Amino acid sequence: MKENKIYNVTKGCRWVLKMNKSNENLEKIKGGLIVSCQALEDEPLHSSYIMARMAYAAWEGGACGIRANSPKDIKEIKKTVPLPIIGLYKQVYSDSKIYITPSISEVDRLIEAGTDIIAMDATNRLRPNGITLQQFFKDVKSRYPDMLFMADCSDFKEAEFAQSLGFDLVGTTLCGYTEDTKDVKLPAYELLKEMAGKLYIPVIAEGGIWTPEQLKTAMNTGAYAAVVGTAITRPRDITRRFINAL
């Protein structure tokens, strides 16, 4: 099998994909909107059935992909939605600040659920049991060499390092959520420009996109695709945003 490669040319504005079977899902999300359908246990819509219906509505609305949390939600979504799923599994460990797919156990469960792309925290923080990202990803990639992996990063150095490790795509997902980036204004357009201009793997715009205008601006940075979650699928937060305007 040929090595999975995606090349960014003309400073991220055009992408050339060396096609093989595992990369078909990357072609499907190219230039489109991925809708994040997630609801944690303390949220009113916490239900795999509800997330599946939310994903179905997103598909009908024109979404090119779904980002979902937990094997249970992913399995339910896949029953009715024929879109590529970026799957993650949020778990809290007492010895690590990382909770987006923090250990191999979560990766195994996501594989079993049939996720198409696995997303994981790719910040420079240590994982449970003091494991580095490099150690962790080497193990993951050796177990699942044909799986596509997305690196959720907070800054350019992390994204560049993730690319060097062999991640297939990288997102701005955690910009604004780490100690070093907590003061960054979202959406992180400047980070997107730098990543899209200097990296050769697809860059996914994610984080803080609330309006169609912001989405368009994010895509104009050279992003391969974009993820929007809260602004579409979290009515409690959407309601609060309107209330705050009063």
Kindly tell me if the per-residue pLDDT of 20 is higher than 60.
Answer: no
CB of 151 within 8 A of CB of 120? yes
pLDDT above 70 as % of the chain: 91
- Amino acid identity at 28: K
Is pLDDT of 187 > 80? yes
> How many Å apart are CA 175 and CA 69, to the nearest integer?
19
Q: Determine the pLDDT at residue 22.
A: 63
- Indicate the average pLDDT of the chain: 93
Residue 32 has pLDDT above 50, yes or no: yes
Q: 14 pairs with which residues across the strands?
A: 9
Q: What is the mean pLDDT of residues 32-55?
A: 97
> How much is the average pLDDT of 61-88?
98
The percentage of residues in the chain with a pLDDT greater than 90, rounded to a whole number, is: 91
Q: What average pLDDT does this structure show over 129-139?
A: 98
Residue 155 has pLDDT above 50, yes or no: yes
Q: How far is CA 122 from the centre of its chain?
A: 11
Predicted confidence (pLDDT) at residue 181 exceeds the cutoff of 50: yes
Are the C-beta atoms of 167 and 134 separated by less than 8 Å? Answer: no
Helices vs. strands in the chain: H and E counts, helices first: 10, 10
Largest CA distance in the chain: 58
Q: How far is CA 28 from the centre of its chain?
A: 15
**The pLDDT of residue 127 is above 60:** yes
Question: Once rounded to an integer, what is the mean pLDDT over residues 69-89?
Answer: 98
| Whether the Cβ atoms of residue 221 and residue 208 lie closer than 8 Å to each other | no
Residue 13 has pLDDT above 60, yes or no: no
pLDDT of res. 23 = 83
Distance CA 136, CA 141 (A): 9
Nearest to 219 by CA among 192, 244, 201, 237: 192
pLDDT digits (tens, 9 = 90+) for 196-240: 999 999 999 999 999 999 999 999 999 999 999 999 999 999 999
Q: Is the pLDDT of residue 17 over 70?
A: no
In the predicted structure, residue 8 carries a pLDDT above the cut 50: no
